[in-house]
Amino acid sequence: MMASNTYHVDPEATAHELMNAATEWLQFDRGLTGLLADLVHDADMVDCQRMALGLEAIGALTQMGVQCTAQAHV
């Protein structure tokens, strides 16, 4: 079960800063997704607990990107 962490976007950030932050979060997300995919392709066995942690991290990174984008549109 994923821990419920709440991240807050800086309310003083400009739309431009928020979109840059969203891009950064999503690039981290893409990098971690690629890493996990490579590990699964190369592994004889997959450690489900570690895979779950990696997938939760991807979810958190994606959520930060979404929050930044949503705030930029406000």
pLDDT per residue, tens digit, the chain (74 aa), is: 444 555 677 888 999 999 999 999 999 999 999 999 999 999 889 899 999 999 999 999 999 999 999 999 98
Q: Please report the pLDDT score of residue 20 as a whole number.
A: 95
Q: Please report the pLDDT score of residue 1 as a whole number.
A: 45
Q: Please report the pLDDT score of residue 51 as a whole number.
A: 93
> How many angstroms separate the CA atoms of 71 and 64, rounded?
11
Instruction: Give the distance, in angstroms, between the CA of residue 46 and the centroid of all CA atoms in the same chain.
Output: 21
Contact between residue 68 and residue 18 where contact means Cβ atoms under 8 Å apart: yes
Q: Please give the model's pTM, rounded to 2 decimal places.
A: 0.80
Q: Please report the pLDDT score of residue 11 as a whole number.
A: 81
End-to-end CA, the chain: 31
Domain-wise residue ranges, the chain: 24-73
